[in-house]
Structure 1
Amino acid sequence: MTSTGDLTHRALIIVDVQPTFCEGGALPVAGGDDVARAIALYATEHRPDYDLVVTTQDWHVDPGDHFSDTPDFVDSWPPHGVAGTAEAELHPALSAMVPEVSVKKGEYQAAYSGFEGRDGEGRLLADILLDARITRVDVVGLAESHCVKATALDAHALGLATRVLTDLTAPVSEELGVQAREELRAAGVHLAPSTSA
């Protein structure tokens, strides 16, 4: 973390970079493993630019109708991110990274946004960022069309200057990715490659 006299008031939010959303997982996103490795490299190289690095994880215990044996892939999905399983842990590419904040979400409900998650002390992500005087966030991770979008929209709604780093995320499908980017832009979220970060 930067020194108190050198705060950037900026956080990096790494959304749901878990094996369950990568190749071979329960709900794989094409290119998920590549995104995980790219995020790990970016986070290492740009660590001094952020006061906080935050990770979020789907951590489902019994999320009700969010899980289904006959999913519609809109509101219901095959079981994924099951709490306590290897698939729900952070992707191995992030194993050397030590985030300041780790939040888990969706134990007993569907939870797309990282702002629905809590840390080990039960604190909501919004309160954690407020306490740290964060004013700007960069959002990366999986999947762009779902949890990244929801997290970025919630960050923006909280009044945080919000940016999605477009080369450090991937959508469930290109069509849904286009829709997500349109929705993010319309809301006022900035989209940019990590090279401009």
Structure 2
Amino acid sequence: MAKALLAVDLQNDFYEDGALAVPNASEINPRVNELLESDKYQLIVGSQDWHPISHLSFASNHGKEPFTPYSDEQGLGPVLWPDHCVQQTEGAEFNSEIKTVNFDYILRKGTDKEVDSYSAFQDNDGTDLGLAGLLKSLEIDEVDIVGLAFDYCVKYTAQDSVKNGFKTNIILAGTRAVNPEELQKLKKELKKAGVNLK
């Protein structure tokens, strides 16, 4: 059985001092690095939010406050975010503690200013980002997922991994949520979708 590790959005803006901080994010780094340095993966992919400054998921580009509810059919929403992971900024860089030297491939997402990308498999409007094809070309059939944040990009990446036919595991010690109070509900939703929580 060939296995891949997906390390989702381990970027400065999602850590404690970042623009879109996930509580206790740095707690995951030892477990993530342990997995990055293990020899059980045929492929390790790091995804990277890579937004233009004009990205329409940013509240500032609508003259609104961050976390204002917002939704359109084109793949933005459910809320508007603070400016984060802007291309070429320190916030978009991978956290310095993460052993990114072990990434085989970096997949950048959220590059189209009109569409957001929570999942590493596809933009929010359904545009394929090529990850499923890459995994299948290497005969990968199982995927472990770590990263930030559990309730957004990790969740959607895991759901799309299942939809693409991969046995899918989220390593709980390697992820944290924006809204930890929603955790139990989220775990039930993911199990129902066929995701294994380890």
**TM-score category, normalised to shorter length:** 0.7 to 0.9
Consecutive unaligned residues in structure 2, runs of 5 or more: 69-77
In structure 1, distance between residues paired with 2:51 and 2:106: 15
1:137 match: secondary structure: strand
TM-score scaled by length of structure 2: 0.84
Partner of 2:43: 52
Give the partner amino acid of 1:178. Answer: Q
Q: What is the RMSD of the two structures over their aligned residues, measured on CA atoms?
A: 1.8
> Structure 1 residue 75: deviation in Å?
2.3
> Structure 1 residue 63: deviation in Å?
6.0
> Structure 1 residue 99: deviation in Å?
1.1
In structure 2, distance between residues paired with 1:140 and 1:29: 14
Q: Is the 8 A contact 1:36 1:141 kept in 2?
A: no
Partner of 1:124: 130
Partner of 2:56: 65
2:102 match: secondary structure: coil
1:20 aligns with 2:13: yes
In structure 1, distance between residues paired with 2:47 and 2:181: 25
1 or 2, which has the higher helix percentage?
1
Listed as ranges, the matches of 1:46-195 within 5 Å are 46=38, 48-62=39-53, 64-69=55-60, 70-72=65-67, 74-95=78-99, 97-108=101-112, 109-116=115-122, 124-192=130-198
Superposed CA deviations along residues 81-129 of structure 1, whole A, max 9, x for unmatched, are 1111111111111245331111010012211001137xxxx96111111
TM-score scaled by length of structure 1: 0.84
> 1:63–1:154: structure 2 CA closer, same or farther, 3 Å change rule?
farther
> Structure 1 residue 137: deviation in Å?
0.1
Give the partner amino acid of 2:164. Answer: L
Superposed CA deviations along residues 26-62 of structure 1, whole A, max 9, x for unmatched, are 0011111121333113321x2x111001100110015
Partner of 1:5: none
**Identity over aligned pairs, percent:** 33
Give the number of aligned pairs: 179
2:107 match: secondary structure: strand
Give the partner amino acid of 2:144. Answer: D
Which shifted more, 89-98 or 77-86? 89-98
Partner of 2:75: none
Q: Is the 8 A contact 1:54 1:101 kept in 2?
A: yes
